[in-house]
């Protein structure tokens, strides 16, 4: 069949003229991209860290306990037993951000490696350490916001497993309660918390683990969580750690908007 040159000409005439500038400019940024920070700057901030994410389990208890108490004020940190309860009962809801560091590394990781013994990473090089830099510890509960009951744990949890306990982790709860997000003080301000948080939210959302995520935070961190898609609900009634918390919720049914400006 002969080509219809006249109609092809008309199509071409309707198109904007190609310029050299257009040909070399990058494609428009994806509005949902987290890479608004220029790659070079992001690379510089993370230099020497090479973070990677993993689910947490009870095997990470020593590291989580150490990190929790290094990052939080003593009255806000979860006790070792509470961490153990959460990691054992619902470790699949918890995530860590790690680095595989060498003992000889200079900078913030070197001081961390010297501060305590970390497990070796699964590598041919036995000197490499599996260094926990940040974690998210969460449970599921039935209330739409974080409550004191959701933050507590059954005192007989070691001997009596309950699917729907009055406090702690409720297997049938549709709210994922984020109880602890922290990054070791030596490596804060590099974007690790946001990387960890966004990856974790995506996993919870995609896996249909809950209808929403709820958390408590102080006023100074409201904007941080808003950037990750959370909305401020109001003042919390929780008395944990002396109270004064703000309820934040990210509801998957109302659509999630993640602010690119991190
Ligand atoms: C809050 C915390 C997890 C942030 O970790 P981080 O790795 O330093 O955070 P990021 O580097 O990803 O921060 C991203 C942005 O959040 C904001 N932010 C982070 N921590 C903040 C803080 N303590 N106060 C105010 N803003 C903060 C900053 O605007 C930062 O942007 P910047 O790079 O332009 O400064 C960390 O400071 C921490 O562990 N704090 C102690 C535990 C805690 O309070 N956890 C929150 C419980 S609700």
Asked if residue 224 has its Cβ within 6 Å of ligand 1, the reply is: yes
Question: Residue 188 C-alpha to ligand 1 middle, in angstroms?
Answer: 7
Contact 220 CB / ligand 1 (< 6 Å): yes
Residue 223: Cβ-neighbour burial (10 angstroms; 0-12, 13-18, 19+): exposed
Spacing of C-alpha 162 from chain mean position: 27
User: 214: Cβ below 6 Å to ligand 1?
Assistant: no
Instruction: Give the pLDDT mean for 154-162.
Output: 94
Specify the pLDDT at position 256: 59
Name which residue sits closest to atom 12 of ligand 1, judged by CA.
191
Q: What is the pLDDT of residue 32?
A: 42
Predicted local distance difference test score (pLDDT) of residue 35:
45
> What is the residue with the minimal CA distance to atom 43 of ligand 1?
182
190 C-beta closer than 6 A to ligand 1? yes
Is residue 171 helix, strand or coil? coil
State pLDDT tens for residues 201-250: 999 999 999 999 999 999 999 999 999 999 999 999 999 988 999 999 99
Domains and CATH numbers, the chain: 34-254 (3.40.630.30)
Q: What percent of the chain has pLDDT over 90?
A: 64
């Amino acid at each position: 069949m002969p080509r219809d040159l006249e109609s092809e000409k008309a199509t071409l005439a309707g198109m904007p003229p190609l310029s050299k500038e257009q040909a070399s400019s990058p494609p428009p940024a994806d509005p949902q991209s987290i890479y608004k920070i220029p790659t070079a700057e992001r690379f510089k901030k993370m230099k020497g860290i090479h973070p990677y994410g993993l689910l947490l389990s009870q095997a990470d208890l020593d590291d989580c306990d150490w990190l929790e108490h290094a990052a939080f004020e003593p009255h806000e940190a979860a006790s070792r037993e509470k961490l153990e309860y959460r990691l054992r009962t619902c470790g699949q809801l918890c995530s860590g951000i790690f680095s595989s560091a060498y003992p000889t590394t200079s900078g913030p990781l070197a001081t961390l490696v010297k501060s305590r013994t970390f497990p070796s990473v699964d590598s041919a090089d036995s000197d490499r350490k599996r260094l926990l830099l940040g974690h998210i510890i969460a449970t599921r509960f039935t209330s739409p916001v974080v409550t004191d009951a959701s933050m507590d744990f059954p005192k007989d949890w070691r001997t009596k497993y309950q699917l729907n306990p009055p406090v702690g982790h409720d297997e049938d709860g549709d709210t994922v309660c984020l109880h602890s997000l922290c990054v070791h003080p030596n490596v804060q301000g590099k974007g690790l918390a946001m990387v960890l948080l966004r990856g974790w939210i995506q996993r919870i959302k995609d896996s249909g683990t809950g209808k929403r995520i709820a958390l408590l935070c102080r006023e100074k961190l409201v904007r941080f969580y808003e950037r990750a898609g959370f909305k401020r609900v109001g003042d919390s009634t929780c008395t944990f750690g002396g109270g004064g918390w703000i309820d934040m919720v990210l509801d998957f049914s109302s659509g999630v908007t993640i602010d690119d400006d991190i």
